[in-house]
């Protein structure tokens, strides 16, 4: 039979009839029927609960706004009791409680913004995913993130606990804004008898507006009442290698191209006995990929016997405006001259001071294996990122034979299971092993896009595993355009550009440490339209602006709950009251005493 015990300001509830997968419901029903319990219907606004052992991660649920005298604003599951109370553990844990408590108000999926007199909703994850994959602008403010109940990672949300990120504006680069994710130092807590502690997140002005803590006129005073988000174009670091390859077998490649950054070149081999040697080289400040849509890097691989020279050169447009327009619309009639095989007899050693104005050797690798295929590739090894490469033509030089394989059309598909030995020489074939890469031709370039997610025919988001577009010694999932490798010595080259690298709208912690480039969009806090249900049922605070919070530990047996666990939860409780008050700019308070 269930029983309860009060230890200071922590309530213990135990018994096999309450410790179940739905323990919050069982605990609620038990306490509502236990007349002597200090926690009853209407006594507390929120319950913060821990199950020993854990019965699931953090979650807010079971709101009952009809409860009286206090509304039941949520029963929160916090997983297990933390193993320690170090500053970093407390900071993370308090941030999670701030998030789960705020789910009573935030983030409303039906929040609206009045833009130019028209009321529009917020773009959700499905809409943003489709628009990103289609390369169309966002039609609504990009604010909704995970489960349409958190903030998107594109929003300057000032480290809000609602999956919010804090970005530092690093200025503009060739017409695009650059935001760098940075750590946030929040308010300092000084509860009596405990060491001071700084929060790592705090409710932002939009949070406080929706919660009813601030008025729209008070929000964002430093930016003229405006909040900001970014329509992303690039982000780094990204988990992908975008460029060209030499294939010795289906799972043994040389890769050469942009490695984890649109300003960093990398050369690597799979199937290497030492685990894959990697050589990287920064392109330096003279490379301006955002300065022009065609600014890229000419990537060239030259085979001489068993040696492979991996070379790169700036590839900036050197044609006039009229020619550029003709090339964009009629690439076959007006091809752009790339001069990809100039200085082909000059194969210098890698030189750290050399310029990229001429072909520069990045690395020299050796292999006695016979190459079977060469081509273009985008390989990605983590799901939460879109990676898109753009390639202008693929040129082959074998002896005196110079072949230009144009990229103004998507190549014919390579039938599954086709051996590389059966590839045609001098024709590109598209290998899309999973069928989920998006491949299209635009402006004469072949775009190979590995999405983070897609929208399936039923209209639902479909997410992919980390290795869904990867290629290594055991996987062949990366999309590629390839042709048969010539015999003997040869060279091949392309103009390559990292076209887009975008993490998911719901990236949250995955965006930590990353930099984004894109176009800043803004809206006024004064134009936010909070749903009426929030205004009438949730914004009005309880008496004295103070929310009553109950901390509860649930277990199957009393012996499962140690004194150390109780002490740790009590330390969290004491910090929590200060944390909630600080996060609500001292306009709301918490009382967690039973």
Residues 226 and 287 in one domain: no
Do 478 and 404 lie in one domain? The reply is yes
Sheet strands (E) in 341-434: 360-366, 373-380, 385-398, 401-405, 412-413, 429-431
The 10s digit of each residue's pLDDT in 503-561 is 999 999 999 999 999 999 999 999 999 999 999 999 999 999 999 999 999 999 999 99
Whether 85 and 122 share a structural domain: no
Q: Does residue 47 form part of some domain?
A: yes
468 and 370 inside one domain: yes
pLDDT at 327 over 60: no
Quickly state the pLDDT bin for 320 (edges 50, 70, 90): very low
Note whether 486 and 359 are same-domain residues: yes
Indicate whether 319 pLDDT > 50. no
pLDDT digits (tens, 9 = 90+) for 52-106: 999 999 999 999 999 999 999 999 999 999 999 999 999 999 999 999 999 999 9
Among 500, 523, 554, the domain boundary falls at 500
Residue 123 is assigned to a structural domain of this protein: yes
Q: Which residue has the tokens 């890469």?
A: 437
508 within some domain:
no
| DSSP secondary structure letter of residue 218 | G
Question: 455 in a domain, yes or no?
Answer: no
- Token pair listed for 396: 């082959």
Counting Cα atoms < 13 Å in the Cβ hemisphere of 23 gives 30
Do 170 and 67 share a structural domain? no
Q: Which of 343, 300, 284 is nearest to 491 (CA)?
A: 300
- 348 by DSSP, 3-state: which? coil
**520 with 577, same domain?**
no
Evaluate whether 228 touches 169 at the Cβ level (below 8 Å). no
Q: Two tokens at 453? A: 């997610």
pLDDT, tens digit, 9 for 90 and up, residues 280-294:
999 999 999 999 999
405 and 326 assigned to the same domain: yes
Helix (H) or strand (E) holding 572: helix 563-583
Does residue 350 fall inside a structural domain?
A: yes
Per-residue pLDDT reduced to its tens digit, 150-209? 999 999 999 999 999 999 999 999 999 999 999 999 999 999 999 999 999 999 999 999
Residue carrying the six token digits 């988990």: 239
Same domain, 70 and 37: yes
Q: What is the spatial distance between Cα 527 and Cα 114, in angstroms, rounded to a whole number?
A: 5
Secondary structure class of 130 (helix, strand, coil): helix
Q: Is residue 569 part of a domain?
A: yes
- Strand (E) or helix (H) holding 516: strand 515-524
Lowest-confidence region among 344-348, 420-424, 568-572: 344-348
Give yes or no: residues 121 and 199 share one domain: yes
The reply to whether 76 and 139 lie within a common domain is no
Is-contact 310 301, C-beta < 8 A? yes
Distance CA 377, CA 243 (A): 6
Q: Is residue 434 part of a domain?
A: no
Helices 563-583 and 87-102: crossing angle, nearest 10°? 60
The beta strands (E) that lie in 122-263 are given as 167-173, 176-181, 188-189, 197-198, 226-236, 240-249, 252-259
Percent of the chain residues past pLDDT 70, beyond the cut: 95
Domain-located, residue 185? yes
Strands laid side by side in the 429-431 sheet: 278-282, 264-269, 252-259, 240-249, 373-380, 480-484, 429-431, 412-413
Number of domains forming the structure of the chain? 3
Is there a single domain that holds both residue 208 and residue 316?
no
405 lies in which domain range? Answer: 239-409+464-500
């Amino acid at each position: 039979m269930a029983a309860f015990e009060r230890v200071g300001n922590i309530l213990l509830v135990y018994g096999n009839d309450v410790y179940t997968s739905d323990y919050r419901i069982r605990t609620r029903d038990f306490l509502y029927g236990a007349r002597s319990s200090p926690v009853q219907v209407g006594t507390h606004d929120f319950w913060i609960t821990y199950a020993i052992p854990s019965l699931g991660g953090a979650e807010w649920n079971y709101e009952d706004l009809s409860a009286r005298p206090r509304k039941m604003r949520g029963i929160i599951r916090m997983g297990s009791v933390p193993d320690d109370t170090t500053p970093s553990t407390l900071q993370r844990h308090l941030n999670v409680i701030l998030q789960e408590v705020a789910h009573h108000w935030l983030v409303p999926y039906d929040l609206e913004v009045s833009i130019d007199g028209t009321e529009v909703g917020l773009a959700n994850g499905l809409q943003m995913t489709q628009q990103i994959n289609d390369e169309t602008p966002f039609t609504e403010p990009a604010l909704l993130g995970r489960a349409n109940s958190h903030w998107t990672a594109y929003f300057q949300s000032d480290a809000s606990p609602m999956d919010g990120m804090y970005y530092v504006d690093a200025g503009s680069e060739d017409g695009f804004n650059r935001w760098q994710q940075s750590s946030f130092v929040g308010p300092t807590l000084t509860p009596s008898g405990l060491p001071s502690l700084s929060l790592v997140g705090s409710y932002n002005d939009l949070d406080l507006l929706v919660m009813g803590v601030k008025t729209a006129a008070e929000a964002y005073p430093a930016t003229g009442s405006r909040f900001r988000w970014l329509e992303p174009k690039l982000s780094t670091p990204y988990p992908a290698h975008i460029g060209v390859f030499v294939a010795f077998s289906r799972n043994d490649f040389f890769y050469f191209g942009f490695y984890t950054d649109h300003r960093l070149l990398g050369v690597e081999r799979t199937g290497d006995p030492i685990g894959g040697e990697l050589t990287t080289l920064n392109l330096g400040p003279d490379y301006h990929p955002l300065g022009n849509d065609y600014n890229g890097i000419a990537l060239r691989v030259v085979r001489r016997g068993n040696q492979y020279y991996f070379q790169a050169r700036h590839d900036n447009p050197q044609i006039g405006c009229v020619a550029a327009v003709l090339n964009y619309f009629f690439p076959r009639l007006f091809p752009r001259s790339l001069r990809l095989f100039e200085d082909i007899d000059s194969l210098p050693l890698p030189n750290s001071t050399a310029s990229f104005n001429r072909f520069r050797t990045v690395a020299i690798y050796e292999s006695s294996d016979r190459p079977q295929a060469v081509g273009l590739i985008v390989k990605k090894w983590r799901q939460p990122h879109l990676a898109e490469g753009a390639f202008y033509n693929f040129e082959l030089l074998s002896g005196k034979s110079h072949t230009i394989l144009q990229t103004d059309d998507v190549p014919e598909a390579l039938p599954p299971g086709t051996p590389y030995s059966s590839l045609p020489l001098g024709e590109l074939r598209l290998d899309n092993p999973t069928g989920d890469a998006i491949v299209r031709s635009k402006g004469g370039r072949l775009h190979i896009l590995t999405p983070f997610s897609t929208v399936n025919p039923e209209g639902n988001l479909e997410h992919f595993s980390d290795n869904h577009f990867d290629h290594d010694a055991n996987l062949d999932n990366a999309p590629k355009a390839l042709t048969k490798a010539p015999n003997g010595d040869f060279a091949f080259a392309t103009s390559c550009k990292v076209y887009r690298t975008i993490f998911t709208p719901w990236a949250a912690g995955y965006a930590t440490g990353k930099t984004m480039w894109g176009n800043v969009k803004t809206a006024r806090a004064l134009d936010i339209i909070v749903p009426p249900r929030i205004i009438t049922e949730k914004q009005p605070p309880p008496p004295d602006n103070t929310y009553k919070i109950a901390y509860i530990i649930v277990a199957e047996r009393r012996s499962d709950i140690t004194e150390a666990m109780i002490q740790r939860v009590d330390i969290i409780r004491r910090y929590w009251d200060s944390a909630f008050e600080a996060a609500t700019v001292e306009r709301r308070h918490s009382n967690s005493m039973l």
